[in-house]
Chain A
Amino acid sequence: MQLGQLQEIEPKLNQLGYQIIAVSPDRPEVLKNSMKKHNFTYLLLSDSRKEAARAFGIAFRVDQKSLKMYEQYGIDIETASGEGDLILPVPAVFVIGLDGVIKFEYVNPNYEVRLDPDILMAAARSAVKN
Chain B
Amino acid sequence: MSKGFHLTFFSSVLSICLLISASTVSGTDTAKQVPVPISPESICPLLNGQKIPAVTLKSSEGELFDLIASVTKKPTILIFYRGGW
Which positions in A face B, CB cutoff 8 Å? 3, 6, 13, 16-26, 28-35, 37-38, 43-48, 50-61, 63, 73-75, 77, 80-81, 85, 87-105, 107, 109-111, 120, 124, 127-128
Contacts and interface: CB of A to CB of B under 8 A. Distances in A.
Interface string B61-73: 1100101101111
B75 A128 contact: yes
A54 B35 CA distance: 9
B47 A94 contact: no
B77 A54 contact: no
Nearest to A103: B48
16 contacts: A13-B77, A23-B80, A24-B82, A25-B83, A26-B84, A28-B59, A51-B55, A60-B38, A60-B39, A87-B36, A88-B83, A90-B45, A91-B79, A91-B80, A95-B78, A99-B51
Given A45-B65, A91-B80, A109-B40, A23 B85 contact: no
Dominant SS among interface residues on chain B: loop
B79 A21 contact: yes
A6 B77 CA distance: 10
B78 A93 contact: yes
Interface of B: 17, 20-21, 24-25, 28, 31-32, 34, 36-53, 55-62, 65, 67-68, 70-85
A111 to B, nearest CB: 7
Given A18-B75, A21-B79, A100-B72, A57 B48 contact: no
B82 to A, nearest CB: 5
A24 B25 contact: no
A111 B21 CA distance: 22
Contacts of A53: 80
Nearest to A111: B82
A128 B77 CA distance: 12
Contacts of A3: 79, 81
Nearest to A76: B85
A48 B80 contact: no
